[in-house]
Amino acid sequence: MTDHPEDPPVEPFPAASPFPPLEGEAPADPPSDWIETANAHDLPTRHPLVPEPLAALGRFAFPPGPPPDEEGVAARDRRWTSHVILLVTVFLLVFNAASIQNWSRQQAPGWVTSTVQQLSDVWCAQIAQLGADQPRQTVRDAYEGLHALRFPGQTPARKGED
Amino acid sequence: MLFPTLAFGVFFLFVYFASWSLDRENGRRKLFLLLASWFFYAQWDWRFVGLLIGSAVMNWAVAAMIARKPVDGEGRRIGTAWLVGLGVAANLLILGFFKYYGFFAVQMGELLTRFGWERDLPLLQVVLPVGISFFTFQGISYVVDVNRGRTPAAKSLLDVMLLMSFFPHLVAGPIVRASDLLPQFDRVPRLTKEMAIHGLLLIAWGLFKKTVIASELSIRLVDPVFFDPSAHSGLDIAAAVYGYAVQIYCDFSAYSDMAIGIAALLGYSFPRNFDQPYRANSMQSFWRRWHISLSSWLRDYLYVPLGGGRKGLIMSCVNVMITMLLGGLWHGAAWTFVAWGGLHGAAQVVERLGRSVFGERKVVPHWLGVLITFHIVCLGWILFRAESFGMAMDVLEGLGRAGPVLLTTPFLLLLIVGGLAMHWLPPRMIEGVAERLKPAPALTVAVLIGVAILLVEAVRPDGVAPFIYFQF
C-alpha cells in the first residue's frame, strides 16, 4: 500500500543506479595508512587509570590553573630548595647526631655550649636506641681500617692512633 | 666562623630562610645580607668591621665622583686620573699598612744598617685583618672599572658595601668584580633548581676536599715534614711536597666551591675560580686554571696597564715578571712568596721565549708538558709552604736523602693520587650531575646530599684548620 495509488510499485532492488553516471576514470584511492611493519602487539593496551568521563569531570570540577609565570616558577623552585635544605637538615640530625655532640664538646664552656651538649647527649642516646648511629659508625670503622694500613716493613699502627 | 663547622651551618640556615622571607623588598634583603656579613666577619675580630665599612665608603665616594665627570667622544671620562689615583692609593695604603708595614720596616732597618745608618724604626704589631687582600683588590677593581666605563657606579652605598662585604667571598675570595655582582643586586635574585642543586653539590664536594683530603694530608704528612725536614727521608719529603700540592688545591678550591655554592643558594652567581689546574701543560695555562679571579685581576689591572704584550717580546717578558713578583708579594709579606712569584714569572718568560723561537709548533708532547708544569708548580709550592729560604733548601736537600718511609702510608698515598686524579674527571662534572638531578623530587636530592655529607662527616678528623688562604 502506498500513499499515492496511481504511482507504479517500487522495485525492491532498482536495476539502475540512482547516481549520475561517472565521467571518465574514477580517481585512485588515497594512499593507505596501513603500516606493513606494524605489529598489533605494539599498540598501547594500557587503559587509563581513571575512565575518560571521570577525568573529564575532574577537569571540569577542578580545572588546572594557568601555567606558572616567571615569578611562579621562581617561587616554586625556592620552595623546592627549601624543602631539600630542611630534609637534609633532618636527615643529618638523625644520622649525624654525633657531630653535634663532638662540636659541643670542643667548645669553650658556657651556657649555650653546655645546653647544646646536654641536649645532644640525650638526642644521641635516643637515636642510638633506634640504630640510627650505625651507618655513621660503620663508615667510620671502615675508614679507620683504611687508616691503619701500612706498607711492608712499616711499624703497624698502634690501637687508637688512627 | 669557618664554612665546614656546625656554627656556620646554623648561621647559614638562618640567613637562607630569613633572606628569602624578605624577597618582596630587595633593599631590605640586601640590608639583611649586609648585616649578616658583618656579623660573620665580626666573629674573627669585630674591630675590623669598621675597616670594612670605611673601605666601602671610600670606594663608593671615589667612584661616585668619577661617575659625575664628563665623558669624551671615545667614552673615556675626563679629568679622573687623580681620582682613580686617589682611590687606588687609598686601597693600597690600607693593604700596605696592615699587611706589609712590619715587613718593609724590617727590610728598611736592615738596609739602613748595611749602609751604616742604623735607625730604630717604629715596629708595630699590626694584626692582619682576615681577607684584607681580597676586599682591597675588589675595591681597586671597582674604582678602575667605573673609570673605564666597564661598569656603572653603584646605585647606592648599600650596594658597594654588600659588594665588598658579602660573606661568601669576604675572607678568601673569589675576587668578584663589580661588573659581575652589582647587576645582580638590582633586583631580588631568582633561585632556580639548577642553581640550588649545583650549589648543594658544590658545598658537599668542597666539604669533602677540605675536611677529608686537605685536613688529613696536612695533619699526618705535610705539617710534620715541613716542621723538621731534616728528620725525614727523601721519599717522605717527596710525598709531603706532592701532598702539599694536593692539600693547597683541595683547601683553596674547596673554599671557592663552597663560596660559590652558598652564594648560589642565596640566588647570586659567582665566577668559577679553579679549572683543574694540574692538567695544565704550560705555566700560562696553569694561571688560566688556578685562582682565576686573581690571575685575571692581575692581568687586567697590572699586566695590561704596564703595557702587556703590546710593546714587544722583551717588554712583555718584563711585564710578566713584574706581575708575577707582585702577585707573589700579594700572597704574603715574605721573600719566599716573592721568590715563588719570581719562579712562576721566570717559567712563563721561558715559555714566551720558546714560543717566539718555535712558534706554535708542538715541541714538547702534551703529557710531558703537564708533567714539567706540575713539577715546576711543586717546586714553587716548596717556597710557598716553607717559612724561610733555609727551610726550603732543607726540603730540597732532603729529597735525595735515603731512609725509611715513616709517615707515608697507603691511605695518604691514596689521598694524594685521588687528589691528583680528580683533575682528570670530566671538566664540568658537577654541572652535569646537577642537570641530571633537576627532574628528581626534593626527597631524592635531599637523601643524596644528606648521604654525601654524612659520609664526609663520618670520616673527617675532629676540628678543622683554617683555610690556607685566610692568611692572605
pLDDT at B223 exceeding the cut of 80: yes
The pLDDT assigned to B206 comes to 94
Whether B200 and A88 lie within 8 Å, measured CB to CB: yes
Whether A77 and B191 lie within 8 Å, measured CB to CB: yes
Tens-digit pLDDT profile for residues B114-136: 777 776 666 666 677 878 888 89
Q: Which among A91, A106, A140 is the nearest to B450, CB-wise?
A: A91
pLDDT at A107 exceeding the cut of 60: yes
Whether B191 and A81 lie within 8 Å, measured CB to CB: yes
Tens-digit pLDDT profile for residues B233-288: 989 999 999 999 999 999 999 999 999 999 999 999 998 899 999 999 899 999 99
**Grid coordinates representing A36?**
606493513
DSSP state of B71: B
CA distances from B255 to B39, B168, B211, B258 (A): 19, 9, 11, 5
Closest A-chain CA to B10: A89
Q: Which of A77, A79, A84 to mutate to test the interface with B (most CBs of B within 10 A)?
A: A84
Q: How far apart are CA B223 and CA B244, in angstroms?
A: 9
B319 lies in a domain? Answer: no
Owning domain of residue B441 = 194-281+364-467
The residues on B that touch A, with CB distances below 8 Å, are 5-7, 13, 16-17, 20, 23, 190-193, 196, 200, 265, 404-406, 408-411, 414, 442-443, 445-447, 449-451, 453-455, 457-459, 462-463
The pLDDT assigned to A116 comes to 86
Whether A96 and B193 lie within 8 Å, measured CB to CB: no
The pLDDT assigned to B334 comes to 85
pLDDT at B295 exceeding the cut of 70: yes
Q: Which among B23, B193, B447 is the nearest to A77, CB-wise?
A: B193
For chain A, the structural domain boundaries read 75-150
B58 lies in a domain? Answer: yes
Residues B176 and B254 in one domain: no
Higher pLDDT, B239 or B98: B239
Chain A hits for B5, Cβ within 8 Å: 103
Tens-digit pLDDT profile for residues B388-426: 888 999 999 988 888 888 888 999 999 999 999 999 988
pLDDT at A9 exceeding the cut of 60: no
Query: Average of pLDDT values for B355-366?
Result: 82
If one counts the domains in chain B, the total is 2
pLDDT at B167 exceeding the cut of 80: yes
**Of B173, B188, B203, the domain-final residue:** B188
B328 lies in a domain? Answer: no
Q: Which of B203, B445, B456, B464 to mutate to test the interface with A (most CBs of A within 10 A)?
A: B445
pTM: 0.82
Residues B225 and B266 in one domain: yes
Residues B23 and B171 in one domain: yes
Whether B454 and A103 lie within 8 Å, measured CB to CB: no
Residues B416 and B277 in one domain: yes
B48 lies in a domain? Answer: yes
Residues B167 and B206 in one domain: no
Tens-digit pLDDT profile for residues A114-145: 888 899 899 999 988 988 889 999 999 998 88
Reported ipTM: the value is: 0.83
Instruction: With beta carbons less than 8 A apart as the criterion, state whether B332 and B135 touch.
Output: no
Percent of chain B with pLDDT over 70: 96
Residues B256 and B131 in one domain: no
Whether A91 and B192 lie within 8 Å, measured CB to CB: no
The pLDDT assigned to A22 comes to 57
B21 lies in a domain? Answer: yes
Q: Which among A74, A91, A155 is the nearest to B190, CB-wise?
A: A74
Chain A hits for B446, Cβ within 8 Å: 83-85, 87-88, 91
pLDDT band at B141 (very low <50, low <70, confident <90, very high): very high
Sign of the alpha-carbon dihedral angle for B213, B215, B221, B226: positive
**Of B170, B188, B206, the domain-final residue:** B188
Residues B149 and B42 in one domain: yes
**Of B188, B210, B238, the domain-final residue:** B188
Q: For chain B, how far is it from start to end, CA to CA, in angstroms?
A: 17
Residues B160 and B228 in one domain: no
Q: Does A114 touch chain B (CB under 8 A)?
A: no
Q: Please, is B217 exposed, middle or buried when counting C-beta atoms within 10 Å of its C-beta (0-12, 13-18, 19+)?
A: buried
Residues B273 and B382 in one domain: yes
The active-site residue, picked from B198, B291, B331, B423, is: B331
Whether B446 and A84 lie within 8 Å, measured CB to CB: yes
DSSP state of A28: P
The pLDDT assigned to A161 comes to 53
The whole-chain average pLDDT of chain B stands at: 88
Residues B260 and B177 in one domain: no
Residues B174 and B251 in one domain: no
Residue-wise DSSP of A69-115:
-HHHHHHHHHHHHHHHHHHHHHHHHHHTHHHHHHHHHHSPP-HHHHH
Q: Please, is B467 exposed, middle or buried when counting C-beta atoms within 10 Å of its C-beta (0-12, 13-18, 19+)?
A: buried
* Closest chain B C-alpha to A44 CA, distance in angstroms: 26
The pLDDT assigned to B453 comes to 93
Whether A149 and B23 lie within 8 Å, measured CB to CB: no
Bridge partners of B77, per DSSP, are B71
Closest B-chain CA to A113: B7
pLDDT band at A42 (very low <50, low <70, confident <90, very high): low
Q: Which of A81, A119, A147 to mutate to test the interface with B (most CBs of B within 10 A)?
A: A81
The pLDDT assigned to A1 comes to 45
Chain B hits for A150, Cβ within 8 Å: 409-410
pLDDT at A98 exceeding the cut of 90: no
Q: Which of A35-39, A69-73, A96-100, B47-51 has the lowest mean pLDDT?
A: A35-39
* Closest chain A C-alpha to B3 CA, distance in angstroms: 14
The pLDDT assigned to B261 comes to 94
Tens-digit pLDDT profile for residues B19-59: 999 877 888 999 999 999 999 999 888 888 999 999 999 99
Whether B454 and A96 lie within 8 Å, measured CB to CB: yes
Q: Which among B192, B408, B462 is the nearest to A102, CB-wise?
A: B462
The pLDDT assigned to B382 comes to 94
Active site residue B331: yes
* Radius of gyration for chain B, computed over Cα atoms and rounded to the nearest angstrom: 23
Measuring CA to CA, which residue among B319, B67, B341 is closest to residue B182? B67
